[in-house]
Amino acid sequence: MFVRYSFAIGHLLLPSPSQNILEIEILSPLQEASRRARELEDLGVVTGPISCPRARGDVECHRNHLRKMQMSFGGEWNPAALSLGIWKPVVVEYYAVAVFRDVDVAIKRNDSHWTMDCRAFLSTHASENFYAQLVVNANELLDDRYVLNQQLVSNDSPVIEFKIHIPKDRVILWWPNGYGKQKLYPVLFSVKCYTSEDRHTLSSRTESQKLLKIGFRTIELVEDTDHIGRTFFFRVNGHPIFMKGANYVPAHTLPELSADADAVAHLLKAANEANMNMIRVWGGGLYESDTFYNLADFYGLLVWQDMTFSQAAYPLANDFVASVCVETVQNAQRLSYHPSLALIVTNNEIELFLSTNKSDFGENATRMESDYKTLFIETIIKELKVISRKDFSPRPEPMVSTPSLGVQESGKNLSNNPQSFNYGDVHFWDDKDGFSPETYPHARFVSEFGYSSLPMKSTWQRALADSADDSDLEIARLIRSRQHDPKGFIPILQLIAYQLPFVPQNWDEDIDKFIYFSQVAQAMATKTALEVFRSLRTGNHTMGALMWQLNDVWVAPTWSCIDFYGNPKLLYYWTKELLAPTSVIALYDNNSNNLNITLTREDFSEHRDSQLYYVLVNTYLWTDLIPKKTIARAFGLGSNNLEMRQIPLEYLLYENHLKEELFLEIILEDEYGNSVARNFFYPVPLNKIIGIKDPELTLEVEGQDCKAATSPYANSFSLRITVRYPALLVYLELVHPYYVKERHRFSTNGFTQTQPKKTIHLVFESDTVCMTLTTDHIKVQTINQYLI
């Protein structure tokens, strides 16, 4: 499904009025995968997995034998849904000589010029070499159009190579999100092809065009040796950048719906607004649509692109390998010009799969490793050279697998420990206490980590739309049926139990509480992880953290921070502050009993840019909105820098009060007293808090007057929240029976309120109908109500 098929049909077409019929025979993917597996087994060839694992009966077998989206065979968070059919357009192309397919634009910079090192890839069925005239128009970059005349093109390898030099002062750099602008230049490539030098024969001429938006940037993957191993970080435009973002899975279980422009735009805009700068396209999914990569360019989201191979040993059948070669070249040529493309990795977790299961493979292990090298190193890496250059590197060299020891170690013997914390990247999954900083590895780059939770209740009700019964009993039944994790609910319930007052055995007796607690636990654990990873940036030690996962393919208990219908979970709301370029981090060091407060700036400035900041630590009792104690510290911090200060926790306690009776608010202010960032630290697990009171929370909702309003309607509401005592992790949920289906977002959510009055904004995307809300349409929960 990952290749473009092109057939010459001119000799087959019937003239009008006859009808031409295209008939395609589609085989059952289940039966075909099983047939191919049996054929190899009869020959004594074993491919992995060694047995067909079944996650609660939700996984189908032998996915590695078909070049289909691997997740369509099912998994820990998604259904088995082996769709079949034509998932992209079928078109008839008419051309006499050749047609434009793709343009690879590699960007190079020297002291005076930028160079667009271009390769124009054509498709042709010509039996002889032909001629081409190529014209490039780029009004913002060139005073005159660039023209290549009388280019002789090989019919066996129809590529036109050329270089365009652009004065440095004509170019504005393209930067990742948070570091600068994402300037894109429209460039129109036009080619006319002729069968001979005689251009006057119109019947032997073909003209086609390609309009691309080009961003000028340099990007490197730096793997320098240091005292513990090798660094692993991206340097963009000469500037080291901490990568913060998420893993992206297809926007829908059915691949033909995964390219929905509205859904993709919603997700990538959300990633941009949450201060992310990198998206990893996971290897169990797809090569995404052109819309996806165009939006990644626009929003400044660097793309870590896995190829679509995951957690299995793949066969070396001739037709399989030949198809993989075509897949590699076609997709590399299509994606290569995008400034957002940061790294291509040929597979997800296959080296980890081979090393972890080596003893189970027995005498087949050596052959499987050899086959792995043949397919991924000797074949795919070699085919990817179609977008490389001999004299410079337009982007990092491909990495073979993730996790791994990095690009520099690729091609050597397979590591027995691809999860080494001293090299490359790691996928971190652990069932230990996710709220403890000591749980997390001091790795070089964490390309997967995360915690699962449930979507909000209205999402489950919407999934039951065809059912007349959307009671809690029915929702609980659906939740059970959608739980595909082989460990069941144990990881979610364990995580909740570390922090919150909850009886795991009775989760289905209070669905609202379970959903709320699951999202709180996910957000709090992920917050700890992100703060640990960001605080380790000194010396380029840890330089990336990608959450698993951004989005969902259906309504289920998953690791996403945005649910299937595009609704943000609490984690998403927190992420905007967690990933803000200037942040204040507070982590408890159990060994020294210190609170480590780190101020971090992740930005770019051409000149020295040291700024003065103040960190205020307010000590609150759970019984009062007025801080009982404040400690201030001054920080001077430059661009892309960080500094950590240790404060003994005993200095922050208040008089004779226990840790269980208080909490800390950490405020970051600039030199003018403006609030820049805010954080909270709870000295004990939330279920150990003493003295918390009913906040006596009241809510007022104010919106537009629909009698006076005119279309398009500004469906924005102000929610005024008043409390008399601190309100812990206030969770707002829209419960309007109709409006819940409209995309909406609160300005913040899951917040701890320490001021008497706070205004939250609720904004809907839709402007076609004037909406009216009352307090009855907003459900409010706090941790207070479950602790009293």
Q: Residue 144 — pLDDT band, cuts 50, 70, 90? A: very high
Q: Residue 503 — pLDDT band, cuts 50, 70, 90? A: confident
pLDDT confidence of residue 279:
98
- Percentage of residues of the chain with pLDDT beyond 70: 98
Up-side HSE of residue 288: CA atoms within 13 Å toward CB?
31
In angstroms and rounded to an integer, the radius of gyration of the C-alpha atoms of the chain is: 28
Instruction: Note whether 622 and 725 are within 8 A (CB).
Output: yes
In angstroms, the CA 362 to CA 406 distance is: 27
pLDDT in tens, 412-451: 778 889 999 999 999 999 988 999 999 999 999 999 999 9
698-786 CATH pick, 2.60.40.10, 1.10.530.10, 3.30.1360.170, 3.90.1150.10: 2.60.40.10
pLDDT confidence of residue 607:
78
- Whole-model pTM? 0.96
Reading the block at residue 196, the tokens are: 């001979």
Instruction: Note whether 782 and 730 are within 8 A (CB).
Output: yes
pLDDT in tens, 272-302: 999 999 999 999 999 999 999 999 999 999 9
pLDDT in tens, 763-783: 999 999 999 999 999 999 999
pLDDT exceeds cutoff 90 at 29: yes
SS3 percent helix, strand, coil of the chain, rounded to 5, is 25, 30, 45
Taking phi over 0 as left and psi of -120 to 50 as alpha, with beta for the rest, 364 belongs to alpha
Q: Residue 201 — pLDDT band, cuts 50, 70, 90? A: low
In angstroms, the CA 729 to CA 724 distance is: 15
Q: Please give the DSSP secondary-structure letter assigned to residue 631.
A: E
Nearest in space to 552 (alpha carbons), one of 217, 71, 30, 124: 71
pLDDT in tens, 366-400: 999 999 999 999 999 999 999 999 999 999 999 99
Alpha-carbon separation of residue 128 from 11, 125, 668 (angstroms): 18, 9, 69
Secondary structure of 552-603 in the HEC alphabet? CCCCCCECCCECCCCCECHHHHHHHHHCCCEEEEEEEECCCCEEEEEEEECC
Q: Mean pLDDT over residues 64-74, rounded?
A: 94
Reading the block at residue 685, the tokens are: 């697990």
In angstroms, the CA 659 to CA 676 distance is: 27
First vs last C-alpha separation in the chain: 56
pLDDT exceeds cutoff 80 at 58: no
pLDDT confidence of residue 60:
87
Q: Which CATH architecture has domain 241-579?
A: Alpha-Beta Barrel (3.20)
pLDDT confidence of residue 202:
59
Q: Which CATH architecture has domain 582-688?
A: Sandwich (2.60)
Q: What is the dihedral of CA 221, 376, 378, 368, to 10 degrees?
A: 130
**Which stretch of DSSP H or E encloses residue 299?**
helix 290-299
pLDDT in tens, 719-756: 999 999 999 999 999 999 999 999 999 999 999 999 99
| Nearby residues of 713 by Cβ (< 8 Å), 6 or more positions away | 704, 706, 767, 768, 769, 770, 771
Q: Where in the chain is the domain with CATH 2.60.40.10?
A: 98-215, 582-688, 698-786
pLDDT in tens, 203-260: 567 789 999 999 999 999 999 999 999 999 999 999 999 999 999 999 999 999 999 9
In angstroms, the CA 435 to CA 523 distance is: 10
pLDDT confidence of residue 55:
46
pLDDT in tens, 151-196: 999 999 999 999 999 999 999 999 999 999 999 999 999 999 998 8
In angstroms, the CA 87 to CA 65 distance is: 20
pLDDT in tens, 399-412: 999 999 999 887 67
In angstroms, the CA 56 to CA 75 distance is: 10
Bond into 167 cis (ω within 30): no
Question: b/e map of 198-227 (b: 16 or more CB within 10 Å)?
Answer: eeeeeeebbebebebbbbbbbbbbebeeee
Q: Residue 606 — pLDDT band, cuts 50, 70, 90? A: confident
Bond into 89 cis (ω within 30): no
pLDDT exceeds cutoff 70 at 759: yes
Q: Where in the chain is the domain with CATH 3.20.20.80?
A: 241-579
Nearest in space to 149 (alpha carbons), one of 160, 134, 159: 134
pLDDT confidence of residue 478:
96
98-215 CATH pick, 1.20.1630.10, 2.60.40.10, 2.60.40.1120, 3.30.565.10: 2.60.40.10
Nearest in space to 270 (alpha carbons), one of 65, 556, 518, 567: 567
pLDDT confidence of residue 49:
65
Instruction: Note whether 400 and 411 are within 8 A (CB).
Output: yes
pLDDT exceeds cutoff 70 at 466: no
pLDDT greater at residue 360 or residue 224: 224
Nearest in space to 418 (alpha carbons), one of 369, 383, 491: 369
Instruction: Give the mean pLDDT of the chain.
Output: 94
Q: Residue 52 — pLDDT band, cuts 50, 70, 90? A: low
Q: Residue 59 — pLDDT band, cuts 50, 70, 90? A: confident
